[in-house]
Structure 1
Amino acid sequence: MRIENSFVPVRGVGEKTERRLWREGITHWDDFEPSTVGDVQGDNITDYIDRARDRLAAGDAAFFDRAFPSGSRWRLYENFRGNACFFDIETTGLDARHNDVTTVSFHRAGETTTLVRGKDLTQEAVRRELDAADLLVSFNGKRFDVPFLERSFDLDVTQPHLDVMYPCRQLDLTGGLKAIEEEIGIERDRPDISGRDAVRLWHAYERGDEDALDTLVAYNRADTVNLKSLLDTVTRRLHESVFVGDTERR
């Protein structure tokens, strides 16, 4: 589903009204005529569409991140997927006050970059990767990855951020990333490692085991790349469960 199929950002339009519009064949902004609803609602929708067209043409993901209800922000993905940045971190523990970020992987436009503590993992490098994206995508990143990065590197991460854990819950997909991947059929080339294993591998690398770092980086990258496959599946399933009508128009 695309942003242009959506009316829920409009003040006074909820999911029930949006579905009614779709059932009546108004499945895209281009289909809307103010006469199909009351005067006030018609004016609200028209005003929103006019502003939203300008913001979409400008690539302003932040406008739509603010406008959409939290449970519908997954709809931003189709429009901004070309410059979405999937990211994941590994750390030496769960508390950013006492633990360190060891690796961070970013996957954008088919390319994956991994930054490693003590090598190229710096505030400037992290900021550069995040700032280059229109939309950030993580799994449980709003509660863990972003606060950890902000505290560890003195950052203020303000980009629109789609945390895939919450759209997963809308589909009753619960548990950790690996469990959800397995449930929907995303396969990994290697056996899973736990957060405890990630810490162990990092400490082994600090003692001189380069193979341990290679293993840690490989899993960090896999977590990041697989997020795209996960979000592709989740947004498709949400579309099928929510939408009434035809979204083929571009």
Structure 2
Amino acid sequence: MRIENSFIPVRGVGEVTERRLWEHGITHWEEFDGSVVGETLADRIDAFIEEGWTHLERGDVSVFADQLPSASRWRLYENVREDTCFLDIETTGLDATRNDVTTVSLHRGGETKTFVKGRDLTCDRLESELERSSLLVTFNGQRFDVPFLETCYDVDVTVPHVDLMYPCKKLGLDGGLKAIERDLGIERDLPDISGRDAVRLWHEYERGDDAALETLVEYNRADTKNMEPLMEIVADRLHRRVFEAACNDR
């Protein structure tokens, strides 16, 4: 599903009105003709579409992210798939005011980069990577990863953000990232480790065990890379549930 299939970013258009438009064959911005809705709302939709094309031509989906509910931001993905950055962090604890970020992995365009505290993990490096991205995808990053980076590294995260935890819940997929991966058949080459293990590995590295850091980085990278197939599955399932179901009811 692409942004051009969406009408709920328009003020006054909810899921019921959007579905009614789809059911009447208006499944794309180009098909909107002012019918189905009242004159005032039709004018508002026309203005939104005209401005929306301008944003899409620039590859800017931020305005749509601001107007979509968190659980519906998955709709942005298809438009900017190649410029989407998947991000995951490891920390020494759960409190951003008392604990540190130890590693940050970013996966974009088939390439994964990992930054390590005390080596190359800096505000400038992180902001440079995020500025190159049209969309940020995390799992529970809205409550965890992003606040940690903003607190510990003074990073200003303004890139549109899809927290996969919310669309997963919409599909009835509950639990942590690894539990959902298992439910969906997304495989890992490495055995599972817990957040406590990640803290232990970091402290072992601080005591001189370089192999512990290598293991920590491997897990961090696996978490990050596995979000891409999860995003693909979630977007496809929600596309079928939300969009195709309405179109098939015509």
Report the counterpart of residue 205 of structure 2 in structure 1: 205
Report the counterpart of residue 240 of structure 2 in structure 1: 240
Report the counterpart of residue 137 of structure 2 in structure 1: 137
Q: Which amino acid aligns with 1:119?
A: R
Report the counterpart of residue 79 of structure 1 in structure 2: 79
Give yes or no for the alignment of 1:224 onto 2:224.
yes
SS of residue paired to 2:203: helix
Q: How does 1:1-150 map to 2 (within 5 A)?
A: 1-150=1-150
- Structure 1 unaligned blocks of 5 or more: none
Partners of 1:200 and 1:35 in 2: how far apart? Answer: 61
Identity %: 63
* Per-residue deviation, 1:38: 2.0
Q: How many residues align?
A: 246
Q: Which amino acid aligns with 1:110?
A: G
SS of residue paired to 1:119: coil
Q: Which amino acid aligns with 1:39?
A: E
Q: Which amino acid aligns with 2:48?
A: Y
Q: Which amino acid aligns with 1:48?
A: F
Partners of 1:69 and 1:203 in 2: how far apart? Answer: 39
Q: Larger deviation: 218-227 or 156-165?
A: 156-165
- Write the deviation string for residues 127-174 of structure 1: whole angstroms up to 9, x where unpaired: 111121111110001101111111111122121111000100101111
Partners of 1:35 and 1:126 in 2: how far apart? Answer: 47
Q: Which amino acid aligns with 2:247?
A: G
- Write the deviation string for residues 93-131 of structure 1: whole angstroms up to 9, x where unpaired: 111122111100000111100001111111211111112
Q: TM-score, normalised on structure 1?
A: 0.95
Q: Which amino acid aligns with 1:201?
A: L
Q: Which amino acid aligns with 2:229?
A: S
CA contact (8 A) 2:70 2:166 kept: no
* Per-residue deviation, 1:70: 2.9
CA contact (8 A) 2:103 2:220 kept: yes
Give yes or no for the alignment of 1:194 onto 2:194.
yes
Q: Which amino acid aligns with 1:68?
A: L
Q: Larger deviation: 188-197 or 11-20?
A: 11-20
CA contact (8 A) 1:29 1:49 kept: yes
Partners of 2:19 and 2:221 in 1: how far apart? Answer: 39
Partners of 1:76 and 1:98 in 2: how far apart? Answer: 34
- Structure 2 unaligned blocks of 5 or more: none
Partners of 2:128 and 2:11 in 1: how far apart? Answer: 35
Q: Which amino acid aligns with 2:38?
A: G
Q: TM-score, normalised on structure 2?
A: 0.95
CA RMSD of aligned residues (A): 1.2
